[in-house]
């Protein structure tokens, strides 16, 4: 493969920038642009060593910096890798990259360093995907899950199951293809046990997918209620800054305003919606329809009520709609700084999750956080278990699980071992596609298209 280079740090002013070079000629390319102060030459540097020196363009000094050398196969990509650290200015960073390109390197594509790591056997496809999950993690749960997968937890589980299925397929194929040979028959009890073991693993991973979605992608949340109950003020409180317009005029919010807020270790994708009520105003009516549509789509509802006035038909309609939907919800009794006109017990018929706050009080944010953490701490979450939220992986697991179930059903119906073998073979293929051991080039390209250049 060619020698490639890219800027591996964000292209913005900062303390330092890193330009990464990988490939057969990485060291010779680095030697053309970097002169070390502390050793004789770049070519003589050993792996896992650094040198302070000057980055130069011919006889002209461009910057001072540090060169780190990794020798194949003991590097991230499995190839010779050099990383040049320079001052973090945008111009100087681009200048160093341009020097590398002028001295034998080609520009790296998105995710190319990690793709090379996979092709060189340093990572599985699932581990490579977890690299981006680590970068994108916004909380402790997401980071812990990504790290486990990056360290090979998911690959290890699937690889073990696949190995057992391949071994089983070998035994079945030998018995089916060579009936005249004196081979031991495949016992149905052992066959069922092997399929059942594989089903147990795939079933648990699939069951954990919802937790993975919650941890990785955030919780789709709608803030709902009548006009002027404090929805926008609550949105701003959760965000920590003013995003929604707040006025005394009912019906100020017409569009759905969407932002993300981190509460504890979880991310909530908040939608501040128009006040839900009967209205003849055409524009406001469109906003109400959009709010009701988002209410139907979301995972979690924060229902906001003004405690300074008694609940009316619109309030009760919202409470009943959310209760009937079965969605998880939190009732926020707002405006606790005013004299209360309602009994909290009235709302207990609709939800046990109730907080009484003033959205104008910054300290009351902690009450909301405590309540949502109680509602949304991932069920049976184990920091040492593998949780994934990758649709490609889930699709592979779903196909494998379905074929394993079909294999058991075929045994129950007395089908031939030929038919059972075909279904187990399909299951094994799906699991090999998941780990990348049998993934098509199109699948691999799709995975790495989501990466940033430089990783």
**Residue/partner pairs of 413-422 with CB below 8 Å, 24 or more apart:** 417/172, 417/175, 417/176, 417/186, 418/176, 420/172, 420/191, 421/169, 421/172, 421/173, 421/176
- pLDDT value for 423: 93
Residue holding tokens 């009235």? 346
Q: Is 414 exposed, middle or buried (0-12, 13-18, 19+ CB in 10 A)?
A: exposed
Tell me if 196 is assigned to a ligand binding site. Answer: no
Tell me if 254 is assigned to a ligand binding site. Answer: no
Q: Are 156 and 126 in contact (CB under 8 A)?
A: no
Domains of the chain with bracketed CATH: 4-108 (3.30.1360.120), 129-212+390-450 (1.20.120.430), 219-376 (3.40.50.300)
Tell me if 197 is assigned to a ligand binding site. Answer: no
Q: Are 336 and 308 in contact (CB under 8 A)?
A: no
Tell me if 272 is assigned to a ligand binding site. Answer: yes
Q: Are 303 and 322 in contact (CB under 8 A)?
A: yes
Does the CA dihedral 344-350-354-356 come out positive or negative?
A: negative
Q: Are 30 and 42 in contact (CB under 8 A)?
A: yes
- pLDDT value for 245: 46
Provide the β-strand partners of residue 183: none
Tell me if 233 is assigned to a ligand binding site. Answer: yes
Tell me if 274 is assigned to a ligand binding site. Answer: yes
Tell me how far apart the alpha carbons of residues 220 and 326 are, in angstroms, rounded to a whole number. Answer: 15
**HSE, side-chain direction, 13 A CA sphere, residue 398:** 7
- pLDDT value for 388: 67
Tell me if 71 is assigned to a ligand binding site. Answer: no
Tell me if 251 is assigned to a ligand binding site. Answer: yes
Q: Are 1 and 25 in contact (CB under 8 A)?
A: no
Tell me if 228 is assigned to a ligand binding site. Answer: yes
Q: Are 196 and 165 in contact (CB under 8 A)?
A: no
Structural element, H or E, at residue 429: helix 417-435
| Percent of the chain as helix, strand, coil, to the nearest 5 | 45, 20, 35
Tell me if 163 is assigned to a ligand binding site. Answer: no
Residue holding tokens 């001052």? 87
Nearest alpha carbon to residue 388 among 149, 161, 151? 149
Tell me if 230 is assigned to a ligand binding site. Answer: yes
Tell me if 353 is assigned to a ligand binding site. Answer: no
pTM score of the predicted model? 0.74
- pLDDT value for 380: 47
Mean pLDDT split into 10-residue runs, the chain, 455 residues: 95 95 97 91 94 95 97 97 97 97 95 94 91 84 83 88 88 61 64 91 85 79 88 87 52 63 85 69 66 84 91 90 92 88 86 91 90 75 63 92 94 85 93 88 84 84
Tell me if 134 is assigned to a ligand binding site. Answer: no
Q: Where are the alpha helices (DSSP H) in 240-350?
A: 282-297, 313-325, 344-348
Tell me if 455 is assigned to a ligand binding site. Answer: yes
3-class DSSP assignment, residue 308: coil
Tell me if 273 is assigned to a ligand binding site. Answer: yes
Tell me how far apart the alpha carbons of residues 427 and 418 are, in angstroms, rounded to a whole number. Answer: 15
- pLDDT value for 94: 97
Tell me if 31 is assigned to a ligand binding site. Answer: no
Could you tell me the two tokens for 159? 């690889």
Residue 324 CA, chain-centre distance (Å), reads 31
Provide the β-strand partners of residue 50: 68
Rounded to the nearest 5 degrees, what angle is found at the Cα of 253, between the Cα atoms of 262 and 256? 55
Tell me if 275 is assigned to a ligand binding site. Answer: yes
3-class DSSP assignment, residue 353: coil
């Amino acid at each position: 493969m060619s020698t490639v280079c890219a800027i591996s740090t964000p292209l913005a002013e900062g303390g330092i920038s890193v330009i990464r070079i990988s490939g057969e000629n990485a060291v010779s390319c680095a030697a053309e642009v970097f002169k070390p102060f502390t050793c004789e030459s770049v070519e003589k540097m050993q792996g896992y060593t650094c040198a302070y020196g000057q980055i130069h363009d011919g006889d002209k000094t461009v910057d001072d910096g540090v060169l780190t050398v990794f020798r194949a196969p003991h590097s991230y990509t499995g190839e010779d890798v050099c990383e040049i650290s320079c001052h973090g200015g945008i111009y100087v960073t681009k200048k160093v990259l341009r020097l590398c390109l002028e001295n034998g390197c080609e520009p790296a594509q998105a995710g190319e360093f990690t793709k090379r790591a996979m092709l060189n056997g340093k990572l599985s496809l699932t581990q490579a995907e977890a690299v981006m999950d680590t970068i994108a993690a916004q909380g402790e749960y997401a980071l812990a899950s990504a790290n486990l997968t990056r360290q090979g937890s998911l690959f290890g589980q699937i690889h073990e199951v696949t190995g057992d299925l391949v071994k089983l397929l070998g035994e079945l194929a030998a018995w089916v293809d060579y009936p005249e040979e004196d081979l031991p028959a495949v016992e149905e009890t052992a066959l069922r046990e092997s399929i059942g073991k594989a089903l147990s693993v795939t079933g648990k991973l699939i069951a954990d997918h919802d937790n993975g979605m919650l941890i990785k992608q955030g919780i789709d949340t709608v803030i709902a209620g009548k006009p002027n109950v404090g929805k926008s003020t609550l949105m701003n409180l959760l965000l920590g800054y003013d995003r929604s317009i707040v006025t005394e005029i009912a019906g100020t919010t017409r569009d759905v305003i969407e932002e993300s807020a981190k509460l504890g270790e979880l991310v909530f994708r908040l939608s501040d919606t128009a006040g839900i009520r009967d209205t003849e105003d055409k524009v406001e009516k469109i906003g109400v329809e959009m709010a009701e549509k988002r209410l139907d789509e979301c995972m979690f509802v924060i229902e906001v009520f003004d405690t300074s006035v008694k609940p009316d038909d619109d309030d009760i309609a919202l409470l009943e709609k959310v209760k009937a939907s079965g969605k998880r919800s939190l009732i926020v009794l707002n405006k606790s700084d005013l004299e209360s006109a309602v009994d909290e017990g009235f709302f207990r018929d609709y939800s046990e999750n109730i907080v009484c706050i003033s959205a104008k009080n910054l300290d009351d944010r902690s009450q909301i956080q405590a309540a949502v953490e109680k509602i949304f701490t991932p069920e049976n979450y184990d920091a040492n278990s593998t949780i994934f939220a990758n649709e490609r992986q889930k699709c592979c697991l779903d196909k494998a699980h379905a074929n394993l179930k079909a294999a058991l059903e075929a045994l129950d119906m007395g089908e031939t071992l030929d038919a059972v073998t075909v279904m187990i073979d399909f299951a094994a293929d799906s699991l090999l596609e998941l780990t990348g051991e049998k993934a098509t080039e199109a699948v691999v390209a799709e995975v790495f298209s989501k990466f940033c250049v430089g990783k």
